[in-house]
Structure 1
């Protein structure tokens, strides 16, 4: 087994017709879009259903009631700044909603959603100025001038999300007459005029436009957009932006991208910049830049990422800490940082073909992205702590929470980047399931799915994936079309899946079984209808220990099962007990029973008063008892509670 796949060029003509968020013009792997892959159920299918049925409508209602959509109406009417509501970046939430809606229309062809989409695009179009400028916070009498606050203004950041919405629309409904792509192009042309080689030699304090410009170049064929993205990437790290109390690292303006060793500063900004820089490197065939980004990803994953895949350990600046600075009770782990991490990893996966990138994507999807929305899709975690010390407070369902202050999932935030970010990710998730190369298909994420596509030489590929993953580890791929020539089916074996098995049951009655080591399990043959390839992943719960350099959790363990991290929640303890009063028993067993993971915990005698430092004593007293854990993505769904992922050992 190997972790990487061989290199291949990508046909740009083919790329422009695929309904996927990222379509490199050259890559080892070619993404399969919404027309090629359809998730049909299971863990992710259920969440996509909630997203479509409830979350999108919830977001639209808040965009209206909070005034962020009406800001565009005021701009069109010429009444701004009077009555404008929301932060300087509130325009971006409208654009993210449009992107999510475009992907969902591509999935479901919902006529009501189509009407809503067109209505909002018309309101946005009415607010655009004749030269292409589009922002409701800047540029009018009584407002700050355009481009006057690049550190905090988010003008280019907002436009980046506009461009991504236009890309999603063009890829799901090519040639649509709603005008969104034209709106985006006028704005992008202005950006290139203002910030090009002879323009303002600066960039946005919040990266995002870099990846958006490259994708807009890919969908339109206008290389000037990709060139502008490259300019933005290369300008960073030269002390261009004004210094702030947290330093220029916050903006990624302290070290050039090519010289950066690990992601640092604001975690969302850092990942968005890295994702855009991968796009720039791929477009320009820049191996040196790509190598630098690979190194940043590896060190960030190995030293600055929580067990959940979450990133960011500083609350004050929503930022990465130093190497090994991963305190569970101060984990910020912003939902948007997890989504941005997926974007960075996905681009490297397409470029390199290394299954390790898909491993981190899987971990982050299950334990950050899936954790944010409530089961009904109408409230969200902004930040994702790994240790809740006091029970949370149920938020007012009609209120708007200050950023990240909600101790339980909240319906909306003053800085509400996470809900529409989750929505656009779930709506486009089909495009992250599988890829193709010249020789076959690679499955990266496991969900019930139908895959119908063609290889570069025109060979038709058709198969269905059946699985209850992660409830169990059986993944069955049933071939639905005969092949005249051999092709290769590659299935990712996660790094934790030591002992996995691969079985091939031919329609002719012949069977073959072989071990499948972490990396890629490959089957190459001229498949026949009815052939079944089955991957069995070991799903027994496992106890993991942290690197001893992570001081905050030294002497603790965590429990994982498959791709899921599990947590101890106080609602599963005896009445009145707290997660701080127990430890893993010295002879503890970890077992699976009745769909739950159970551990043996011993109670510790609490000391309520007095000096908390004393000579070593036995850590736990009393008889151990079996306690059920909960998947981390499900914590907080049963009311206020305390919770911890890392459990002390007795």
Structure 2
């Protein structure tokens, strides 16, 4: 378990994506206090993101005209801008998310690769922004459009929110003041126009709430916090036009304290929840946290996929009914899983409860990891848990393999900004010590306690922590880790830690804590109310969900023919590649297909030929071309 750490940037303290001003239960470590091992899974993702994903996003926001929309307005002559607006009306947000990714990456590695781009784009924003602070290339560049005339669909505050977050990232990562000045003018416009005495306007796509809170945290300007409060308080009173999918699609169906069932467009629901939790972290309104805890129980207790995906309906990209979780029709948008992680992080800061870190890990290592290929330049928008033989993947709404870009390209730059700031979600610290939430190799510097973590997790279960300083080390023990053991400084053996809680050890300088997690593959079943997978199991090893892919089957056996024998042993195979380091060998039978679509039930005919087959991590599927796949396996 060799730890390889990249050189840290020269700035002494770089704050992360969510840094409460008011004391929270847990305090996030500065990004500059965490360095992920570049050979670890998470660390290697950050390296891939810097080398491939961010450049890919930069190229595509230029190629698709998203940056040209700014240039068109900045270079407009007396007759107005030439040409037409390009892309979806929220294309500005793709630029801003890419800028945010660059901001975090500059802070992580100190790169100056994009210095010229940043200067050019800052110049464009300054030239396009109106004197009152308004900035939206779709509205400004489309004849007949007026600011905030159609907030249910124009995404003006949504785009503004991503601009604010990009400016904060660039300010924290590199000290850039130009973007922050642009963002403050936008924030002043929102606080003034929609403040106490302004218009009660909210956006059809929540996002600005959490951004306004973070702008307040960065600047200390309380009007931004009050503007976020008003956005939250005004939501849910059905002020937005209904549109095709009704008020719940826009999260405008009930006030936030009453809307305790996850419903409507899943990304909007989760972004709003993150913003409300941010607000609680700053104003301490317990009624907000109470509502968020109920909402979390609904989303994660009755409507989440085993991979950490959210949203079961393609029609409106929404949550379905409780336990409505069809694997083949799972929408499970990448942005929803990212938003879920961001919300869980804020709930973790607010409460200190391990269950929120547990779900961060589930989403990160499964749904989010699956959404990007091994090159870092192709992506899934939706993330099904089953792809049928013969699936028509010609539409980008449900492709058979990852695509380089999308007409609605929200997911790729969202991944880029998450991965660039990923080390900010791994650990927290306070005066008592250090808390490790994501089990990954790296170095972590807390207030009183520092740690070097050596581990091959999630592929192996040996986690060795060497500390310096004095204080309490808290290490999250995964909820599935029954039988985990712990040894301190090599000799002292402690009672087995409690799964789903934190192992807490009072440490002196030089102490070592070794946590050993059982990595035996296990079979997981869903609640019987999940009708779509009744009689099926998922194979899980550690935190990683597995799937069976057609690429690993002979030509004469289809994925749909397989039945798993739950009594047979599961064999692990160590692969020689970084995509599927641990494969599993399963046993069962392959049943012949019926001659007709419907036939008389005869239990004596339900037999097949014995077969063994390979399962790979779900996050690695579709890296060998399109083909059938399934997570949930029927039992023999």
Please give the range of the TM-score, normalised by the shorter of the 2 chains.
Answer: over 0.9
Normalised by the length of structure 1, the TM-score is 0.91
| Corresponding residue of 1:525 | 506
> Of 497, 503, 524, which aligns to 1:516?
497
Query: Are the equivalent residues in 1 in contact too, given 2:434–2:474 (CA < 8 A)?
Result: yes
Query: Are the equivalent residues in 1 in contact too, given 2:13–2:31 (CA < 8 A)?
Result: no
> Of 581, 584, 590, which aligns to 1:603?
590
Q: Does residue 423 of the first structure (1) align with residue 420 of the second (2)?
A: no
| Corresponding residue of 2:134 | 133
Query: How much has 1:359 moved relative to structure 2?
Result: 0.4
User: Residue by residue, what CA displacement relative to the aligned partner does 1:366-395 show, whole Å, maximum 9, x if unpaired?
Assistant: 111111111001110000000101356898
| Corresponding residue of 1:445 | 438
User: Residue by residue, what CA displacement relative to the aligned partner does 1:573-610 show, whole Å, maximum 9, x if unpaired?
Assistant: 1113211111113643323233311211211120243x
| Corresponding residue of 2:58 | 60
Partner SS state of residue 434, structure 2: strand
Q: How far apart, in 2, do the equivalents of 1:393 and 1:106 lie?
A: 43
Cα RMSD over matched residues? Answer: 1.8
| Corresponding residue of 1:306 | 305
Partner SS state of residue 214, structure 1: helix
Q: How far apart, in 1, do the equivalents of 2:599 and 2:438 lie?
A: 47
After TM superposition, the structure 1 stretch with the greater mean CA deviation from structure 2, 314-323 or 43-52, is: 43-52
Q: How far apart, in 2, do the equivalents of 1:366 and 1:620 lie?
A: 36
> Of 626, 631, 635, which aligns to 2:612?
626
Matches within 5 A, 1:55-454: 55-78=53-76, 79-80=80-81, 82-139=83-140, 142-174=143-175, 176-177=176-177, 179-390=178-389, 403-453=396-446
| Corresponding residue of 2:26 | 29
Q: How far apart, in 2, do the equivalents of 1:445 and 1:372 lie?
A: 20
Partner SS state of residue 502, structure 1: strand
| Corresponding residue of 1:592 | 572
Q: How far apart, in 2, do the equivalents of 1:260 and 1:165 lie?
A: 29
User: Residue by residue, what CA displacement relative to the aligned partner does 1:97-136 show, whole Å, maximum 9, x if unpaired?
Assistant: 0000000001111122333323322222222112111010
User: Residue by residue, what CA displacement relative to the aligned partner does 1:406-439 show, whole Å, maximum 9, x if unpaired?
Assistant: 2210000000000000000000000001001221
Q: How far apart, in 1, do the equivalents of 2:525 and 2:250 lie?
A: 34
| Corresponding residue of 2:626 | 640
Q: How far apart, in 2, do the equivalents of 1:586 and 1:240 lie?
A: 53
Partner SS state of residue 537, structure 2: strand
Partner SS state of residue 475, structure 1: strand
Q: How far apart, in 1, do the equivalents of 2:145 and 2:421 lie?
A: 36
Q: How far apart, in 2, do the equivalents of 1:649 and 1:53 lie?
A: 43
Change (3 A) 1:585 1:136: same
Partner SS state of residue 621, structure 1: coil
Query: Are the equivalent residues in 2 in contact too, given 1:312–1:321 (CA < 8 A)?
Result: yes
After TM superposition, the structure 1 stretch with the greater mean CA deviation from structure 2, 254-263 or 165-174, is: 165-174
After TM superposition, the structure 1 stretch with the greater mean CA deviation from structure 2, 245-254 or 345-354, is: 245-254
Q: How far apart, in 1, do the equivalents of 2:556 and 2:93 lie?
A: 44
Q: Does residue 474 of the first structure (1) align with residue 471 of the second (2)?
A: no
Query: How much has 1:499 moved relative to structure 2?
Result: 1.0
Query: Are the equivalent residues in 1 in contact too, given 2:26–2:352 (CA < 8 A)?
Result: yes
Partner SS state of residue 191, structure 2: helix
Query: Are the equivalent residues in 2 in contact too, given 1:602–1:620 (CA < 8 A)?
Result: no
> Of 537, 544, 547, which aligns to 2:517?
537
Normalised by the length of structure 2, the TM-score is 0.93
Q: How far apart, in 1, do the equivalents of 2:424 and 2:532 lie?
A: 37
Change (3 A) 1:139 1:572: same
| Corresponding residue of 2:546 | 566
Query: Are the equivalent residues in 2 in contact too, given 1:18–1:32 (CA < 8 A)?
Result: no
Q: How far apart, in 1, do the equivalents of 2:595 and 2:25 lie?
A: 59
Partner SS state of residue 571, structure 2: strand
Partner SS state of residue 295, structure 1: helix
Q: How far apart, in 2, do the equivalents of 1:202 and 1:363 lie?
A: 36
Q: How far apart, in 2, do the equivalents of 1:618 and 1:164 lie?
A: 62
Change (3 A) 1:608 1:378: farther
After TM superposition, the structure 1 stretch with the greater mean CA deviation from structure 2, 574-583 or 415-424, is: 574-583
After TM superposition, the structure 1 stretch with the greater mean CA deviation from structure 2, 254-263 or 201-210, is: 254-263
Q: How far apart, in 2, do the equivalents of 1:121 and 1:497 lie?
A: 49
Change (3 A) 1:585 1:117: same
Query: How much has 1:350 moved relative to structure 2?
Result: 0.3
Partner SS state of residue 410, structure 1: coil
Q: How far apart, in 1, do the equivalents of 2:429 and 2:514 lie?
A: 19
User: Residue by residue, what CA displacement relative to the aligned partner does 1:55-109 show, whole Å, maximum 9, x if unpaired?
Assistant: 1111111111111101100111224373320110000000000000000001111
Q: How far apart, in 2, do the equivalents of 1:52 and 1:111 lie?
A: 12
User: Residue by residue, what CA displacement relative to the aligned partner does 1:176-216 show, whole Å, maximum 9, x if unpaired?
Assistant: 34x00000000110111111122221200000000000000
Query: How much has 1:462 moved relative to structure 2?
Result: 2.4
Q: How far apart, in 2, do the equivalents of 1:140 and 1:63 lie?
A: 17
Partner SS state of residue 290, structure 1: helix
Change (3 A) 1:311 1:228: same
| Corresponding residue of 2:9 | none
Q: How far apart, in 2, do the equivalents of 1:192 and 1:434 lie?
A: 33
Change (3 A) 1:112 1:83: same
Partner SS state of residue 106, structure 1: helix
Query: Are the equivalent residues in 2 in contact too, given 1:391–1:640 (CA < 8 A)?
Result: no
Change (3 A) 1:270 1:613: farther
User: Residue by residue, what CA displacement relative to the aligned partner does 1:444-499 show, whole Å, maximum 9, x if unpaired?
Assistant: 0011111123x2xxx4x3221111111101111112x3x3xx41000001111111
Q: How far apart, in 2, do the equivalents of 1:290 and 1:140 lie?
A: 40
| Corresponding residue of 2:6 | none
Change (3 A) 1:166 1:70: same
Query: How much has 1:403 moved relative to structure 2?
Result: 4.8
Count residues in correspondence: 613
Query: Are the equivalent residues in 2 in contact too, given 1:33–1:430 (CA < 8 A)?
Result: no
Query: Are the equivalent residues in 2 in contact too, given 1:403–1:416 (CA < 8 A)?
Result: no
| Corresponding residue of 1:48 | 46
Query: Are the equivalent residues in 2 in contact too, given 1:81–1:140 (CA < 8 A)?
Result: no
Gaps of 5+ in 2: 1-11, 575-581
Query: Are the equivalent residues in 1 in contact too, given 2:487–2:494 (CA < 8 A)?
Result: yes
